[in-house]
Amino acid sequence: MPSTKGLFFSDDKGYIAHVQINTVDKNKSKYTVKQYSDTHKARLIHDIIGRPSTADYVKYIENYLIPNCPIMKEDIVREEDNLESNVGIIKGKMTWKTPERVSNTLDNLPNGMLEEHSDVTIAIDIMYINEIPFMMTTS
């Protein structure tokens, strides 16, 4: 519904929302002190070697391509589970792609529809929540 200033919002009065969040402390409690320390070493080495993808990083470790590396594949898996996302991995690797131009042709409209509804504009977007797509529309 639109607010008095025209901004659309969701009115959730009367609804009870429950959110479950995995915190770093909760994840940390699953591992020993040494495992948690090795997790931080894995993140540090990941940053030093230029933040390759996780699959490439695992290949480097499994094939002994990093000399005198103190970590193992399990440390990398724990790094993914235990620590928050590494923003440095995302920066610079995601690029904007120009979307295709939207065609505004009016083909095959029922008789009289354009005369009755000529001033209606519809905006549509897709929003993802927990990887579930939702189509958001306003007219």
pLDDT in tens, 15-57: 666 566 666 666 677 888 888 889 889 989 988 998 888 889 9
- The Cα–Cα gap between 136 and 127 comes to 7
Element (H, E) at 123: strand 123-129
Tell me, what's the pLDDT at 45?
A: 92
Tell me, what's the pLDDT at 36?
A: 85
Classify 77 as helix, strand or coil: helix
C-alpha dihedral, 33 to 34 to 35 to 36, nearest 10°: 50
- Reference 22, options 11, 12, 30; nearest CA is 30
Classify 130 as helix, strand or coil: coil
pLDDT in tens, 98-109: 888 877 776 777
Amino acid at 121: T
Mean pLDDT for the chain overall: 80
Strand pairing class (123-129; 132-138): antiparallel
Q: Residue 39 pairs with which residues in a beta bridge?
A: none
Model confidence band, residue 116 (pLDDT cutoffs 50, 70, 90): confident
Ordered DSSP codes for 26-67: HHHTTS-HHHHHHHHHHHHHHHHTT---HHHHHHHHHTT-ST
Q: Residue 2 pairs with which residues in a beta bridge?
A: 8
Query: Model-level pTM?
Result: 0.49
